[in-house]
Amino acid sequence: MRPKRPASKFYAVHRGRQPGVFRDWPACRDQVTGVRGARWAAFRTLHDAEQFVRSGKRAAPAAPAAPAAPAAPAAPAAGRAFYGVHSSNPAVPSAVFDTWAACQAHVHRQRGVAFRKFPTRELAQNFAHGTAAHDWALLGSSPAEFARAHKLPPPPAPFSARSVVYCDGSALANGSARATAGIGVYFRDEPHLSLSEPLTLPPYTNNRAELLAASRALELIWRNLAAVPAAAPRALYVLRTDSEYVVRLLSALYRAYDSPAALAAVSNGDLAVPLVQNYLRVKHWYLLNTACFHPPAEFALEWVRGHDNEPGNEEADRLAREAAASV
């Protein structure tokens, strides 16, 4: 006899960093851990999970019925709707769908994805892009001000160049009074931009080095996007890091803080605030100018496994260790 497959579960977050339905517990956990008053629950069907996201209440159990053949999860209620999918899985792009069937096919059996139904395309797109309503408060700007300063004119031909950037931090004698730390940023396709610098802001820990490495990488990316003539070509940048700490902060955790002052109060807030601001500048620049690229561009932050023989990541690690040893 074949062993039974584990029953499929839908993890619903009613109150958390990013309300929605998730297909695996780690993705759900990231949205509720450390959030005061977080509310989540696991369900057997998408319909019940969606109901919980909206109301925060479990549906009353139905009266017993005769056994029926297994069926796919029911589609959400009828009516005009848009389905946003936000993904931290590099193999599954974030997207917006007009039908539940298309959304279901996109997320089926995938990990690291969240999806939710919305009444407007704009709300679904915000969910898919991972943007928050208070992004502009964190940046100290507004969409109109940002567009006036950074909207590009249509280029003669769409930009198509791609540039992959790796960042890493390293601490020697991490956690001790003798600790030193450094950062490495490696531009695979523009190696002259690579850098190796010591961490000069104590305490000298691995986490702080990783935060600063990502922030410096984003500073350089931003300079290449915004501080050059409007007619100059741009690249589609991809930032890769082996730091789960950095990826979680930028993909989800920062959304719990609605001002720089609130974010500054967290651990390593002196580095987290400029990092998040640098990230949001780059992210919103691509959202603003996506039509200038072919294919249409959206900034990607990707996690890579550390010490897994990926040449670019190994080079960023070498640059970081070299900087830490130079102090």
Q: Would you say residue 116 has pLDDT above 50? A: yes
In the numeric block, which tokens belong to residue 245?
A: 């700490």
In the numeric block, which tokens belong to residue 235?
A: 């690249």
Residue 184 CB contacts under 8 Å (≥ 6 apart), including other chains: 166, 167, 168, 169, 170, 194, 195, 196, 213, 315, 316, 317, 318, 319, 320, 321, 322, 323
Q: Would you say residue 4 has pLDDT above 70? A: no
* Beta strand pairing call for 39-43 and 82-87: unpaired
pLDDT at 17: 65
**Residues of each domain in the chain carrying CATH 3.40.970.10:** 10-55
Q: At CB < 8 A and 24+ separation, what contacts does 39-42 make?
A: 39/13, 39/14, 39/15, 40/11, 40/12, 40/13, 40/14, 40/15, 40/16, 41/11, 41/12, 41/14, 42/9, 42/10, 42/11, 42/12
Q: Which residue has the higher pLDDT, 34 or 306?
A: 306
**Phi, then psi, of 271 in degrees rounded to 5:** -100, -30
**Residues of each domain in the chain carrying CATH 3.30.420.10:** 161-325
Summarised one tens digit per residue, pLDDT across range 12-31 is 888 776 778 887 787 787 77
In the numeric block, which tokens belong to residue 251?
A: 């993909």
- Would you say the pTM of this structure is higher than 0.75? no
Query: Beta-carbon neighbour count of residue 267 at 10 Å?
Result: 8
Q: Would you say residue 301 has pLDDT above 80? A: yes
Summarised one tens digit per residue, pLDDT across range 192-205 is 999 999 999 999 99
pLDDT at 36: 67
Residue 294 CB contacts under 8 Å (≥ 6 apart), including other chains: 158, 159, 160
Q: Which residue has the higher pLDDT, 28 or 321?
A: 321
Q: Report how far Cα 81 is from the mean position of its chain's Cα atoms.
A: 24
pLDDT at 230: 84
pLDDT at 59: 67
Do 112 and 327 form a contact (C-beta atoms < 8 A)?
no
DSSP-based three-state secondary structure for 108? coil
Summarised one tens digit per residue, pLDDT across range 218-276 is 999 999 999 888 889 999 999 999 998 998 898 778 888 999 999 999 999 999 999 99
Nearest by Cα to 53 from 36, 26, 32, 78: 32
DSSP-based three-state secondary structure for 77? coil
Do 74 and 46 form a contact (C-beta atoms < 8 A)?
yes
Mean confidence (pLDDT) of the chain: 86
What is the identity of the amino acid at 68? Answer: A
pLDDT at 186: 99
pLDDT at 170: 97
> Residue 68: pLDDT band by 50, 70, 90 thresholds?
very low
CATH class of the 10-55 domain in this structure: alpha beta
In the numeric block, which tokens belong to residue 23?
A: 């297909």
pLDDT at 64: 39
Residue 207 CB contacts under 8 Å (≥ 6 apart), including other chains: 169, 243, 245, 268
Q: Which residue spans within 229-291 are E strands per DSSP?
A: 236-241
Q: Which residue has the higher pLDDT, 57 or 66?
A: 57
CATH class of the 161-325 domain in this structure: alpha beta
